[in-house]
Amino acid sequence: MFSYAQVVLAQHQSDAEYVPPPLPEFESLFDAEFEGSPAPDFGRATLSSLFVNKDKAKVVFLAHGSYGRTLRTSTTAAEKWRGEVDENPVTFFYHTLYPHLVRSIRMAAPLIGASPANTVLVTNVEEGIAAVLNSVCTPVTSSNNAYRLIAFDFTYGACRYALERVAQRQGCFLDIIPTTSPITTDSIIRDARAYFEKNLVNVEKGPIKLFLFEHITSPSALVLPIHELVAMCKKHNIMSLIDGAHGIGQIYLELEKLQPDFYTTNAHKWLCHTRGTALLYIHPSHHATIKPLITSWGAPNGNVQAEFIWQGTNDYSSHLTLPITIKTLKWLSKGDVPSIYTRNRLLARRAAVFLSSVWNTDTLSPDLDMFASMVSVRVPVRRQAAVDCGEEACGISDLHDDLLKNHGIEVPVFTFRGAKYVRVSIHVYNEWNDVKVLGRSVLVELGYPVDEAVFKQYSTPKHE
């Protein structure tokens, strides 16, 4: 039996010291396929080869940021792992599971620039955030131990609800930092500093214990200046908890250099992994404090790796499939996974310029450096409604459904500070024509003429 002590040891070993478990037969077959065949080109070839069959690729999918899209290799591998369990569940849980979970963490941790010793697996970002908040937010019994949690006013709804619940349960305070428009990198830094200057000391509410902020905001798709925000937290002795739901697979991460207190990121989004796996980075100074939501057999060990690795009898196939997902992306990128981030970012930013031009609108932020593989572009006001609904908003609110029904386009449409935007996601299976189809379809749905001359100015980019 692979013991909890062996789990801890394996996560602290160097690459030279670590001995991985034998590969399951199906993974060896994947390896042989990767070595023996060339990777498809990005775009439609990748879509039909790695995601959906050609006859099912009818929807122009520009909504990857919503729930991700799973690689076919990952889906197959997860099914194979479930089969491995059922051949002999006792042998699997006693001897196979832990060594392969350790291997999954060791393969995934470099993608967030973290040590395996500081990285644990959870099912999703919400679970990671809940584990941190439940561990560090102690009950307030008097004004002597009062404290505050803080977050920006645009913080993702689920995260804000989590903060509100823990504040209500523990009796601490939640402060919301107001932000100015338009949002830029400089404005975020300025607004955060202004808050600290005015509110760092508060006799009634106590000191600030934790600052929860996103790396890439949702739904607005803005890349926040996390280096500056983490530095502010360190300066004022505040814990930083970063919601990196969109981080891994979209943006280059170096968490050991950044040194936040906590960072959690979903594998099912931009890593194109099966749903049910996220990574939680825990700074070494907090290893003794952070506990999983479920207390189980690893608890007596007193080590964060031992406590998180086993969360009861469950389906661990998503965690175990991480190596196949990572190998697939390495094969697709010819060994250079960050090159995918670059390709997607360049195409997304070109989409932002193109769409705001043909729609005569603007991007949610004028600072294009705040966008990575997702961009938010304001849609024009509906010129004429198909039905008289009495107000302009009723037509715009149906835009998502109209684009899907009439044009086969899946893209989020959302409201931010009184304006309507589409959030365009670009991944390996998207190509420039997807963006042009969206640009033309929005104009048609909202009653505007299509100027083909303008569309012709934007040819297919070389980096597609």
Q: Where are the domains of the chain?
A: 108-325, 338-456
CA 71 to chain centre: 16
Q: What number of H helices and E strands is found in the chain?
A: 20, 12
DSSP, collapsed to helix, strand or coil, labels residue 405 as helix
Amino acid 150: pLDDT: 98
Q: Which amino acid appears at position 422 of this protein?
A: V
Closest CA to 61 of 425, 346, 406, 377: 425
Per-residue pLDDT of the chain (464 residues; tens, 9 = 90+): 678 889 889 999 999 999 999 999 999 999 999 999 999 999 999 999 999 765 566 899 999 999 999 999 999 999 999 999 999 999 999 999 999 999 999 999 999 999 999 999 999 999 999 999 999 999 999 989 999 999 999 999 999 999 999 999 999 999 999 999 999 999 999 999 999 999 999 989 999 999 999 999 999 999 999 999 999 999 999 999 999 999 999 999 999 999 999 999 999 999 999 999 999 999 999 999 999 999 999 999 889 999 999 999 999 999 999 999 999 999 999 999 999 999 999 999 999 999 999 999 999 999 999 999 999 999 999 886 544 444 444 445 589 999 999 999 999 999 999 999 999 999 999 999 999 999 999 999 999 999 888 887 777 776 66
Structure tokens that stand for 448 in this block: 């505007």
Amino acid 463: pLDDT: 62
Q: What are the start-end ranges of the H helices in 287-445? A: 304-309, 317-320, 322-332, 338-358, 392-397, 399-407, 432-445
Fold match between domain 108-325 and domain 338-456: no
Domain 338-456 has CATH 3.10.20.30: no
DSSP letter for 200, please.
Answer: S
Q: Which amino acid appears at position 361 of this protein?
A: T
DSSP, collapsed to helix, strand or coil, labels residue 10 as helix
In order, the DSSP letters of 31-81 are HHHHHHSPPPPTTHHHIIIIIS-GGGTTSEE--HHHH----HHHHHHHHHH
In words, the CATH class of domain 108-325 is: alpha beta
What distance in Å separates the CA atoms of residue 340 and residue 464, rounded to the nearest whole number?
11
Question: What's the whole-model pTM score?
Answer: 0.95
Structure tokens that stand for 384 in this block: 């004429």
